[in-house]
Amino acid sequence: MNPRVKSVKPLCDYQLLLEFTNDEVGIYDCKYLLDFGVFKELQDVNYFKQVSIVGDTVTWINDQDICPDTLYLESEKMDEITAIWFNLMIDINNDDELCSSELALVFHFAWRLKMKYQTRIKKIDFEKTFANNKKLDLYVELDNKKIGFEIKFPKNSNNGTPDTGGRKKIINDIKRLCWLKENNKIERGYFLCATNSLPFVNKGNKPDLFETYQGSSYKKGNSFPEYEKSSVELEIIPYDFGFYWNDISHNGTKYILSSKNIKYAWLTPIII
């Protein structure tokens, strides 16, 4: 028998974040159901968010449910660290966690890592410094693997002015993770980001600069885009990566936060 669902959280765009009884985590996309019979009621986003677990599968209050085997076999599985990030950002957007700064976000994430892995984490370090003064926001040794994290939290100012200087910091973070992996300082790197400053999510008008808009991608072997002088001298992209944001929707003109209750768009982790 396939594993069953033990927890569910609704995501934007009619997706479900599922944790299974074997501790795997996956995303199940419900959009294909929305035009069929009783499932049409799920088109109401507020109703869709009322999903819960009854028995061993997901259900809604008017008795819509999905076969648990289908949920397991057809969900897109993710690694455990990505699942921790997804759960943290869902909780922050639901007001279950308060997060006022980038430093607080780093600590929230580190705490959840420690709670998840307990004795499997042998070392955890903040602002770890490597050669040539290259620093990581968070460094973890998990199951004897060296893992580095760069975490960004660009936000609008108190008067609502968007953050316009964060792209250089993002490209430097990604370059740093690539450099550290290429030089065997880490075995895996994660770039994590959340923001309420929507220029990061939407395409700008300067294509020569580094872009982070929804769906933008960069291919191994190409040159890193120009963006002033970088603190990490790495010209060629060594790994494919792209920007895929959550809790956003398109209003016909641009991407916006998916509802008035959502505080931040957040990035599917870029894994180096």
Q: Using one digit for the tens of pLDDT, what is the confidence trace for 139-184?
A: 999 998 999 999 999 988 776 676 766 778 898 899 999 999 999 9
Q: Specify the pLDDT at position 166.
A: 74
Q: Using one digit for the tens of pLDDT, what is the confidence trace for 196-243?
A: 999 899 987 765 567 899 999 999 998 887 655 555 678 889 999 999
Distance, CA of 218 to chain centre: 17
129 with 228, same domain: the answer is yes
Q: Specify the pLDDT at position 187.
A: 96
Q: Using one digit for the tens of pLDDT, what is the confidence trace for 46-80?
A: 899 899 999 889 999 998 999 999 999 999 999 99
95 with 58, same domain: the answer is no
20 with 130, same domain: the answer is no
141 with 158, same domain: the answer is yes
Q: The domain spanning residue 68 has which CATH number?
A: 3.30.2020.10
Is 187:146 a contact under the CB 8 Å cutoff? Answer: yes
Tokens 């004897």 locate to: 144
* Cα–Cα distance for residue pair 229/203, rounded to 1 Å: 22
Q: Using one digit for the tens of pLDDT, what is the confidence trace for 93-145?
A: 988 778 889 999 999 999 999 999 988 998 999 999 887 667 899 999 999 89
> What is the chain's mean pLDDT, rounded?
89
97 with 112, same domain: the answer is yes
Last residue of one domain, picked from the residues 14, 47, 77: 77
Residue 206 structural domain: 79-271
